[in-house]
Chain A
């Protein structure tokens, strides 16, 4: 989340150090770029919805998501919408406008 002012930086807390160490621990020598992740995203989501094992076919995909918050946010949103669509429950444009 953005800082509430343009003042002091966020303090470096224990949880931030832990977060850094998690990212370092999960670092691979070769990783997907954000563009490569975007290209694979719809395939991964549809495989997941179909109950197939997407990680077997796209092994580096979840590794990238563990490192990249913006790609992870796109994946979670797409997965939710695509799943609703597959189940015939995706909200209509009118429904969504009413809920704003």
Chain B
């Protein structure tokens, strides 16, 4: 592949001709490398995806990344290497595709639809002193109250992302929305919980010390 400066990349990709064709071919190779690298790196959590399917996902992610990058070419500010910026698009596409594949057989309606119920006490079976256990029970009650005061959507997002560990982009896809909207919902939920716990006289950092395993 031809070594290029950031300015070389932008110039070559922006002007039709032989240079553009060569730049596009090299760019595609960079993106495919990033997509394959991403899928290879995450193969432990995608063990059910076979080799040919992985290659197909890599090719599709590469194409998606190429289209997206070219649409945003004018937005490149030169704050990074062009190749690092390009890799970002392919890593993003490949990870989204890998998560989609990993979660495709899971009914998110079931996962999201079931209610979030906190226990009255924790599952920590190690011997802890009665005072700590009493504080945990009190804190759990306050957390439950705080969660109950959230909106329905905030509660669902909190449950799905924090307790059920559904990836943000999978939940966004399930609800036909976008990551930013869900991130904001979760942010609002966290702020609401923080405000409620403080209003009940709890210091969240101190609570962390009470719930740490074995601490």
Contact = CB atoms under 8 A, between A and B. Distances in A.
Interface stretch (B12-20, B107-115, B149-157): B107-115
Contacts of B140: 17
Interface string A76-100: 0110111001000011110011011
A46 B184 CA distance: 27
Contact of B117 (A12, A25, A96, A99): A12
A12 to B, nearest CB: 5
B190 A42 contact: no
A82 B168 CA distance: 24
B32 interface: yes
A100 B194 CA distance: 45
A40 to B, nearest CB: 8
B91 A77 contact: yes
Contacts of B81: 42, 46, 82
B213 A15 contact: yes
B187 A21 contact: no
Contacts of A41: 88
Given A24-B190, A24-B194, A9 B163 contact: yes
B123 to A, nearest CB: 5
Q: By DSSP majority rule, is chain B's interface helix, strand, loop, or mixed?
A: helix
Contact of B162 (A16, A31, A81, A90): A16
A3 interface: yes
B168 A34 contact: yes
A67 B32 CA distance: 29
A68 interface: yes
Interface string A1-27: 111001111111111111111111101
Interface of B: 29, 32-34, 36-43, 45, 51, 54-55, 79-81, 83-85, 87-88, 91-92, 95, 99, 102-103, 105-107, 110-111, 114, 116-119, 122-124, 140, 143, 158, 161-165, 167-169, 179-180, 183-184, 186-187, 190-191, 193-194, 197, 204-205, 207-208, 211-213
Nearest to B62: A93
A65 interface: no
Contacts of A12: 116-119, 163
Given A18-B211, A27-B194, A31-B187, A10 B164 contact: yes
A73 interface: yes
B84 A23 contact: no
B85 A42 contact: yes
B213 A18 contact: yes
Nearest to A70: B168
